[in-house]
Chain A
Amino acid sequence: MRALRFTLALLLVASAAAAAVTIPPVDYRHRVLANGLEVYSVQDRSTPTVAIHVWYRVGSKDDPAGRSGFAHLFEHIMFKSTKNMKSEMMDRLTEDVGGFNNAMTLDDATAYYELVPSNYLETLLWAEAERMGSLNVDEANFNSERDVVKEEFRFRVLAPPYGRLFYAIDRDSFSAHPYRRPGIGSIEDLDAATLEDVKSFHATYYRPDNAVLIVSGDFDQKQLDAWVDQYFGPIAKPETKIPRVDVKEPARTEEKRVDELVPNVPLPALAINWLIPNAAHPDAAPLVIAATILAEGESSRLQEKLVRGEIAQEVTADADLREDLGRFTVVAFMATGHQPPEAEKVIRAEIASIAAKGVTAAELEKAKNLFLTSALRERETSNGRAFALGEAVVIHEDAAAVNRGLEQIQAVTSADVQRVMKKYATDAKPVVIDYREKPAPAEAAAPAGGAR
Chain B
Amino acid sequence: MKRALTFMLVALFAAGSLFAQQTTPPAPAAPREAKLPEAAEKTLANGLRVVVVPRAGVPLVAARVMIRTGAAADPAGRDGLAQLTSSVLTKGTKTRSAQEIARGVEALGATIETDAGWDSTSVDLSVMSPNLDKALEVVADVVRNATFAGKELELERAQAIDSMQVTLGQPGSVASLVATRLLFGDSPYGHSANGTPKSLARIRRDDLVAFHRNFYRPDNAALVLAGDVTPDAAFALAERLFGSWKKGAPVSAPAAPAQIEARRRVVVIDMPEAGQAAVVVARPGIRRTDPAYYRALVANSVLGGGYSARLNQEIRIKRGLSYGAGSSFQPRLYVGPFAARTETKNESAPEVADVIVAQMTGLASADVPETELTPRKAVLIGDFGQSLESAAGIVDRVSALALYGLPLREINGYVGNVQAVTAEQVRRFAASNLRGEDATIVIAGDAKKFEEQLRKQFESVEVIPIADLDLNSPTLRMRKAKG
Task: Contact check, B276 vs A155: say whether CB atoms are below 8 A apart.
Answer: yes
Tell me how far the C-beta of A19 lies from the nearest C-beta in chain B, rounded to whole angstroms. Answer: 4
23 A-B contacts, Cβ less than 8 Å apart? A18-B108, A21-B130, A23-B59, A48-B32, A49-B389, A97-B8, A98-B2, A100-B307, A119-B28, A122-B26, A147-B320, A148-B322, A148-B323, A151-B320, A151-B323, A155-B322, A158-B276, A159-B172, A304-B99, A308-B98, A376-B58, A377-B60, A380-B389
If the complex has contacts A152-B323, A377-B60, are A93 and B25 also in contact, measured as CB distance less than 8 A? yes
Going nearest first, the 3 A-B pairs with the smallest beta carbon separation are A158-B275, A98-B382, A369-B109
Tell me how far the C-beta of B144 lies from the nearest C-beta in chain A, rounded to whole angstroms. Answer: 20
Q: Is B102 an interface residue (CB 8 A)?
A: yes
A366 CA to B106 CA, complexed, in Å: 6
Tell me how far the C-beta of A268 lies from the nearest C-beta in chain B, rounded to whole angstroms. Answer: 11
Tell me how far the C-beta of B123 lies from the nearest C-beta in chain A, rounded to whole angstroms. Answer: 15
Partner of A266 from the list B2, B102, B169, B392 (CB cut-off 8 Å) is: B169
**B residues within 8 Å of A by Cβ?**
2, 5, 8-9, 12, 21-35, 57-60, 98-99, 102-103, 106-111, 126-131, 134, 155, 158-159, 161-163, 165-166, 168-172, 271, 273-276, 278, 306-308, 316-323, 343-345, 374-375, 378-379, 381-383, 385-386, 389-392
Task: Contact check, A313 vs B159: say whether CB atoms are below 8 A apart.
Answer: yes
Task: Contact check, A151 vs B126: say whether CB atoms are below 8 A apart.
Answer: no
Closest to B306 in A: A95
Q: Is A218 an interface residue (CB 8 A)?
A: yes
Task: Contact check, B320 vs A95: say whether CB atoms are below 8 A apart.
Answer: no
Task: Contact check, A336 vs B158: say whether CB atoms are below 8 A apart.
Answer: yes
Q: Is A175 an interface residue (CB 8 A)?
A: no
Task: Contact check, B170 vs A381: say whether CB atoms are below 8 A apart.
Answer: no
Q: Mark A84-108, 1 if CB is under 8 A from B, else 0.
A: 1000100111011111100000000
Q: Is A36 an interface residue (CB 8 A)?
A: no
Known: A91-B308, A159-B275, A372-B128; 19 extra A-B contacts, CB below 8 A, are: A21-B129, A49-B34, A122-B29, A123-B25, A147-B321, A148-B323, A151-B345, A152-B323, A154-B276, A162-B166, A299-B103, A308-B155, A313-B159, A335-B158, A365-B107, A370-B109, A373-B60, A373-B109, A380-B390
Chain B residues lying within 8 Å of A20, measured Cβ to Cβ, are 130
Q: Mark A156-188, 1 if CB is under 8 A from B, else 0.
A: 011111110000000000000000000000000
Chain A residues lying within 8 Å of B374, measured Cβ to Cβ, are 96
Task: Contact check, A119 vs B32: say whether CB atoms are below 8 A apart.
Answer: yes
Task: Contact check, B308 vs A88: say whether CB atoms are below 8 A apart.
Answer: yes
> Within A93-146, which residues are at the interface with B (CB < 8 Å)?
93, 95-100, 115, 117-123, 126-127, 143-146
Closest to A160 in B: B170
Chain A residues lying within 8 Å of B60, measured Cβ to Cβ, are 373, 376-377, 380
A362 CA to B389 CA, complexed, in Å: 33
Task: Contact check, B102 vs A95: say whether CB atoms are below 8 A apart.
Answer: no
A160 CA to B391 CA, complexed, in Å: 32
Task: Contact check, A24 vs B170: say whether CB atoms are below 8 A apart.
Answer: no
Task: Contact check, B12 vs A92: say whether CB atoms are below 8 A apart.
Answer: yes
Closest to B371 in A: A96
A46 CA to B130 CA, complexed, in Å: 23
Tell me how far the C-beta of A403 lies from the nearest C-beta in chain B, rounded to whole angstroms. Answer: 15
Chain A residues lying within 8 Å of B128, measured Cβ to Cβ, are 18, 21, 369, 372-373, 376
Q: Mark A65-101, 1 if CB is under 8 A from B, else 0.
A: 0000000000000000001100010011101111110
Task: Contact check, A98 vs B379: say whether CB atoms are below 8 A apart.
Answer: yes
Q: Is A351 an interface residue (CB 8 A)?
A: no
Task: Contact check, B273 vs A218: say whether CB atoms are below 8 A apart.
Answer: no
If the complex has contacts A95-B375, A266-B166, A267-B166, are A48 and B275 also in contact, measured as CB distance less than 8 A? no
Closest to A384 in B: B390
A117 CA to B378 CA, complexed, in Å: 11
Task: Contact check, A307 vs B320: say whether CB atoms are below 8 A apart.
Answer: no
Partner of B323 from the list A98, A155, A370 (CB cut-off 8 Å) is: A155
Chain B residues lying within 8 Å of A126, measured Cβ to Cβ, are 21, 25-26
A152 CA to B274 CA, complexed, in Å: 15
Chain B residues lying within 8 Å of A9, measured Cβ to Cβ, are none
Chain A residues lying within 8 Å of B24, measured Cβ to Cβ, are 84
Task: Contact check, B25 vs A159: say whether CB atoms are below 8 A apart.
Answer: no
Chain B residues lying within 8 Å of A376, measured Cβ to Cβ, are 58-60, 128
Chain B residues lying within 8 Å of A267, measured Cβ to Cβ, are 162, 165-166
A410 CA to B102 CA, complexed, in Å: 22
Chain A residues lying within 8 Å of B2, measured Cβ to Cβ, are 48, 98, 117, 119
Chain B residues lying within 8 Å of A265, measured Cβ to Cβ, are 169
A16 CA to B134 CA, complexed, in Å: 13
A158 CA to B57 CA, complexed, in Å: 43
If the complex has contacts A100-B382, A159-B170, are A313 and B162 also in contact, measured as CB distance less than 8 A? yes
Chain A residues lying within 8 Å of B8, measured Cβ to Cβ, are 96-97
Tell me how far the C-beta of B132 lies from the nearest C-beta in chain A, rounded to whole angstroms. Answer: 10
A70 CA to B131 CA, complexed, in Å: 47
Chain A residues lying within 8 Å of B22, measured Cβ to Cβ, are 84
Q: Is A310 an interface residue (CB 8 A)?
A: yes
A380 CA to B169 CA, complexed, in Å: 36
Tell me how far the C-beta of B37 lies from the nearest C-beta in chain A, rounded to whole angstroms. Answer: 11
Partner of A48 from the list B34, B59, B162, B323 (CB cut-off 8 Å) is: B34
A118 CA to B129 CA, complexed, in Å: 29
Q: Is A396 an interface residue (CB 8 A)?
A: no
Chain A residues lying within 8 Å of B127, measured Cβ to Cβ, are 373
A115 CA to B379 CA, complexed, in Å: 12
If the complex has contacts A21-B130, A148-B322, A369-B107, are A155 and B168 also in contact, measured as CB distance less than 8 A? no
If the complex has contacts A97-B382, A218-B32, are A380 and B322 also in contact, measured as CB distance less than 8 A? no
A17 CA to B59 CA, complexed, in Å: 17
Q: Is A263 an interface residue (CB 8 A)?
A: yes
> Within A374-401, which residues are at the interface with B (CB < 8 Å)?
376-377, 379-382
A95 CA to B378 CA, complexed, in Å: 8
Closest to A373 in B: B109
Partner of A97 from the list B166, B271, B306, B378 (CB cut-off 8 Å) is: B378
Partner of B389 from the list A23, A313, A365, A381 (CB cut-off 8 Å) is: A381
Chain B residues lying within 8 Å of A158, measured Cβ to Cβ, are 275-276
Task: Contact check, B323 vs A298: say whether CB atoms are below 8 A apart.
Answer: no
If the complex has contacts A123-B26, A159-B170, are A47 and B158 also in contact, measured as CB distance less than 8 A? no
Task: Contact check, A88 vs B317: say whether CB atoms are below 8 A apart.
Answer: yes
Tell me how far the C-beta of B468 lies from the nearest C-beta in chain A, rounded to whole angstroms. Answer: 17
Chain B residues lying within 8 Å of A88, measured Cβ to Cβ, are 308, 317
A296 CA to B307 CA, complexed, in Å: 34
Task: Contact check, A151 vs B30: say whether CB atoms are below 8 A apart.
Answer: no
Task: Contact check, A122 vs B28: say whether CB atoms are below 8 A apart.
Answer: yes
Q: Is A264 an interface residue (CB 8 A)?
A: yes
Task: Contact check, B166 vs A144: say whether CB atoms are below 8 A apart.
Answer: no
Q: Is A233 an interface residue (CB 8 A)?
A: no
Partner of A47 from the list B34, B168, B318, B392 (CB cut-off 8 Å) is: B34
